[in-house]
Each structure stands twice: as structure tokens, then as C-alpha cells.
Amino acid sequence: MSFEGTEPPQDWSVVPLGSVAELRFSSVDKLSYPSEEPVRLCNYTDVYNNDYITDDIDFMRASATQPEIVRFGLKDGDVIITKDSETPDDIGIPTVVDSAAQDVVCGYHLALIRPNKEEIDSTFLAKQLGHFRLARYFGQQANGLTRYGLPIRAVANAPLWLPGQNEQRSAGNVLRLVDEAIAKTESVIAKLRQVRVGLLHDLLTRGLDEHGQLRDPVAHPEQFQDTPLGRFPREWIFEPLGERLQRIAGTIQTGPFGSQLHAHEYTAEGVPVIMPQDILEGYVSVAKIARISVTRAEELKRHRVRLGDLIFSRRGDLSRCAAITDREVGWMCGTGCLLMRFEETTLSAKWLSLAYRHDTGQRQVAARAVETTMVNLNTKLLSHLQFGFPHKEEQDVVVCRVTQADSAILQEEANLSKLTLMKSGLMDDLLIGRVRVPAEVATDRQEQEKVSSV
């Protein structure tokens, strides 16, 4: 069977899945019955979210009959795919069972595939099932209107392209190495994000002393004071944001009203208009940003943003806030946004963005938000928000520390993107035989596994 002008190498075989594996569509639901045996259930989301199933996954508790446990109990080397979904794109998502205890059972909406180990490698099989060649096949074979499902015959007839077993194992091992690198990078990102949350909380509640160290409320309680927002450094000045803005000639203004900008005014080129949906975690995204002509932007020039401005979402997710950077200078503050402008003498826009999005800011927003058809932010609410304001120098150091943490996360996310692209290319090359993998890779991997298990 050819695919988009390609064919498998001449020394590869083309076989239906059912000829090299046993198929079982699970009927085990999520309910628990006193008359059945307690089990742990491998569910749809466990398969969808994991390339590999291991016994340390937090499976849900359920029950099953003894025949169901025998028929659908997981074994090492099994492959599981999603067989039902609300969209045909999510059908046929595979995972490999690396390790599973005797009480782990395959749940409903899943197909359990038990490969014949004499003919096909489990990892290679799972990767083939996840390749877009077979993903398209499954999408074409799915039945349904509001929910799509695969009949067992369609799964059994799925056309596999198979090299020899050593090459299967070699290709599978290469892809596993990439998966391991991706998993480790994702773990690093998760840890860095967790560290950032803790760091940000400490910086915005304890601050930094003259030596650049976090103040310690236990060792030096005299450095702290009780405030309506909790215990904060004594050096900080607590006051409403509006009072601080008055002293530094700050203003808050809204973006153009909906009646001033109509759908037909947006253009493919021109001046970007920042809308609430463009304000993400402290920055402005350009992924789907709207634009208006230079002429129209000139008519609304009082709504152009400047370096150091703060832009807020007025409705929906009120945690959306970003400090304007060099890139966004001259862009428009769009409908549904508030713009805060002040002289950066005693207040850093980036620091205030962090403080506003932190719990101490968001709790006040939630308590004061005006609710009509949806929660709204307004200039009065912003002006009444209270913060503990450190000196400007301390604000700048806090921003620098958070920026360093963000840079580390961005670097790892860039590494993750590279690995993901590498995996996509390798899957395409290795699973259709465009690139052949030496059989020695399988042997080397097996030797590594033997050493690691000793």
C-alpha cells in the first residue's frame, strides 16, 4: 500500500494489524460494584496523555468481574489506543505498557492490542499507529456524528509497514531516546515553573534587603509589619494605587470603544491593536493580533501605547496584565482594555504587573470587581487596589530576578520545541523507511537496559 507517492522499502512487509496482534475492545466502565473485584483502571486520559504506561501512574479505582480482569488486564508490552472520541483526530492515539501490576485493567473507550512478540516490537507498533499515515486511516474509518468510534474490523485491517525485527527495535529505541529527552525537559520546565511560583511569592511578600537577600520574617521579625494584606516588610509603603499615581502624575484610560472600531476596519497589515485576548502571562502575544490602517491609528493616536505603560483586560480574565516593551511602542490600546501610564520615578511598570497578577492583587480584584453580564475592571477599582510599594531600586531587582527565572524557562521551552520537531522528523523518516537504522542500535539499547537493571 502506497501513501502520498511513497511506498515502503522492498524488504519491508505490509500486513494488517490483526495478523500480528490480538485485539480486544474493553467494556470495563468506571463504576464500582460490591459484587466485583477492586481494580485500578487505565482510562482514556491515561492513554491520551502518556507515551508509556507505567505502574506509578495514579490510576483511578473501579471494579471489574474476574473474566474482565483476565481479558483486559494489562501486560508488559501491550499497546493501547483510543477507539472513541468527540473528534476523529483524537482516535487511534497509542501508548505502550512498560510496566503494569496485576490489578491494572484497560478501561472503556480503549482498544487493547497484544502484539505477537515474535513478529512485531511493541514500541515500533505504537509509533506506527501514531504516525500520520495511520492517523489519517483511522480518521477515515471512524463512524459517528457527535461522537466518533472505530469498529474492530477497521483496527484489525490497519495496514502496518514492517521491517525486520532488529530494525523495528532499533527504530523504536531511537524514538524512545527522544521521548526520554522530551520527558526530562518537560520535567525540568515543570520544576522551573514551580520554583518561579515560590520565588515570586517570596519576592512580593518578603522582598530583598540591602544585600540582595530575601528578608527572613522568622530570624528578623522586627523587619516586618502587619497590614490589611498580611505581614510585609516594614520598609514598604502601603497605600492605594490611585494615591501613588497622583503623586507621580499617573493616569488610567480606556481603549477605543466598540463603536469607534468596526470589523471592516481591521486590516491584514498596519498598526497592531492589543485586545484582551492578546494579553497573556505578563506579555503581549502577536499570534492572532488585529491591525488597523495607519490612517485610522492616527485618528486614535491618544490610544497609542508607550514604553513602560501597563495594559489590562477590562473583562473576562482580569489577571491579564502586561507592561509595554520596546516592541509594542506605538501599538494601539484596543477595545476592552485599560491603559495605565505614569512616570517611572518611584514605580516600575514591570514590578506592578507582577504585583497585580499575584494573589495579593487578584484577591482584591475579585472582591471589588463590578459584575454586570460579566466581571469588569474599571479605573476606580484599579485606583483603590492596595499594594506594599518597595523602593524603586528594590522593585527593579525583583523584576531582574523574575526575568532570570523566566529566561531559564524560555530556554528549556526552546529546547523542548527542538526535540519535538526532531521527533516529528524522525518518526516520518524511520517509520516509512526513508532512513534506515542500523540493527546495532537495538543491541546497544538492550545492553544498556541490562546494565541499568543490575
pLDDT above 60 (res 258): no
Measured CA to CA, the distance from residue 423 to residue 145 in angstroms comes to: 33
Report the DSSP pairing between strands 84-85 and 148-149. antiparallel
pLDDT in tens, 122-162: 999 999 999 999 999 999 998 887 788 999 999 999 999 99
Average pLDDT over residues 284-292: 93
pTM: 0.84
Residues sharing a CB contact under 8 Å with residue 384, sequence separation 6 or more, in sequence order: 240, 241, 242, 368
Domains and CATH numbers, the chain: 14-161 (3.90.220.20), 163-234+391-439 (1.10.287.1120), 237-389 (3.90.220.20)
> What cell was used for 308?
513602560
What band does 452 get if pLDDT is binned at 50, 70 and 90? very low
Instruction: Say what the pLDDT of residue 454 is.
Output: 36
Average pLDDT over residues 253-268: 75
Measured CA to CA, the distance from residue 396 to residue 439 in angstroms comes to: 57
Residue ranges with strand state E in 73-127: 79-82, 84-85, 94-97, 104-106, 110-115
- Within 13 Å, how many C-alpha atoms sit on residue 272's CB side? 17
Q: Among 9-18, 61-70, 82-91, 389-398, which is the least confidently predicted range?
A: 82-91
Average pLDDT over residues 251-267: 75
What band does 4 get if pLDDT is binned at 50, 70 and 90? very low
- Within 13 Å, how many C-alpha atoms sit on residue 94's CB side? 22
Instruction: Say what the pLDDT of residue 430 is.
Output: 93
pLDDT in tens, 164-210: 999 999 999 999 999 999 999 999 999 999 999 999 999 999 999 99
Instruction: Say what the pLDDT of residue 113 is.
Output: 98
The residue among 454 and 440 whose pLDDT is bigger is 440
Q: What is the phi-psi region of residue 146: left when phi exceeds 0, alpha when psi lies from -120 to 50, beta otherwise?
A: alpha
pLDDT in tens, 205-256: 999 999 999 999 999 999 999 998 899 999 999 999 999 998 888 888 877 7
What band does 88 get if pLDDT is binned at 50, 70 and 90? confident
pLDDT in tens, 29-78: 999 999 999 999 999 999 999 999 999 999 999 999 999 999 999 999 99
Residues sharing a CB contact under 8 Å with residue 444, sequence separation 6 or more, in sequence order: 173
Picking from 379, 353, 195, the residue whose alpha carbon sits closest to that of residue 279 is: 353
Instruction: Say what the pLDDT of residue 438 is.
Output: 77
Residues sharing a CB contact under 8 Å with residue 396, sequence separation 6 or more, in sequence order: 348, 351
Measured CA to CA, the distance from residue 111 to residue 85 in angstroms comes to: 12
Instruction: Say what the pLDDT of residue 372 is.
Output: 57
CB 381 within 8 A of CB 365: yes
pLDDT above 70 (res 447): no
Average pLDDT over residues 406-420: 97
pLDDT above 50 (res 450): no
Residues sharing a CB contact under 8 Å with residue 362, sequence separation 6 or more, in sequence order: 318, 319, 356
What band does 335 get if pLDDT is binned at 50, 70 and 90? confident
pLDDT above 50 (res 5): no
